[in-house]
Amino acid sequence: AQTVTQSQPEMSVQEAETVTLSCTYDTSENNYYLFWYKQPPSRQMILVIRQEAYKQQNATENRFSVNFQKAAKSFSLKISDSQLGDTAMYFCAFMTLGNNDMRFGAGTRLTVKP
Amino acid sequence: ETGVTQSPTHLIKTRGQQVTLRCSSQSGHNTVSWYQQALGQGPQFIFQYYREEENGRGNFPPRFSGLQFPNYSSELNVNALELDDSALYLCASSRNTNSYNEQFFGPGTRLTVL
């Protein structure tokens, strides 16, 4: 079974500091995609960053970057220079190539403190 | 460019009733996916519609059904409601069936079953 595990239900960070959210996944597939989604208190989910499993280079989007360790099946999200607007639920998600069943983890609630 | 919209925002039903939730996809998107997000959990994939046909289904019983219309808007129908159906229902649209392309989520419909 393909599963996604986020072991940190809640985290907090001071404004301007760096925080890392953890995610591990389980699959026997070789071609897949990994995602981090942000769900602010207003509920609308937005894509933060995406990583293709065939790419060795870690994805980066401005203050957001990932540490993708394929052998360890680990996909952590690093948020640099945290801002108050980063406060949200963060979901790690996984999908295999050619399959539209996206699997989500249970989420990590991140609070950025002023 | 109009984003994904969902209606209604909130809904209260009783066990055994039927419910219809609606989703308007983002302009230019022909694919709609539906997710169920129980409280404190990540979204679970229900099914996807592409060009008015079901194009993949998660582990949900047949009483969860859907439609997609020529304008690519979509409905989720749930018959014989159960207490465990209480959740936030999210729809997401994308440009094609390959959901590794960015999915844009709506704000969700909060369904409460009493």
Q: How confident is the model at residue B28 (pLDDT cuts 50, 70, 90)?
A: confident
Residue type at A105? Answer: G
> CB B40 to CB A42 under 8 A?
no
Task: Give the pLDDT confidence of A84-108 residue by residue, as tens digits.
Answer: 999 999 999 998 877 778 899 999 9
Q: Are strands A74-79 and A19-21 parallel, antiparallel or unpaired?
A: antiparallel
Percentage of residues in chain B with pLDDT exceeding 90?
82
Task: Give the pLDDT confidence of A54-70 residue by residue, as tens digits.
Answer: 888 999 999 999 999 99
Pick left, alpha or beta for residue A9 (phi over 0 → left; psi -120 to 50 → alpha; otherwise beta): alpha
Q: Count CB neighbours of B81 within 10 A.
A: 19
> CB B58 to CB A95 under 8 A?
no
- What was the pLDDT predicted at B102? 80
Residue A112: exposure state from Cβ atoms within 10 A (0-12, 13-18, ≥19): buried
Q: Count CB neighbours of A9 within 10 A.
A: 10
> CB A105 to CB B99 under 8 A?
no
Task: Give the pLDDT confidence of B56-78 residue by residue, as tens digits.
Answer: 999 999 999 999 999 999 999 99
Residue A102 sits at the chain B interface (C-beta within 8 Å):
yes
Question: How many CA within 13 A on the CB side of residue B75?
Answer: 10
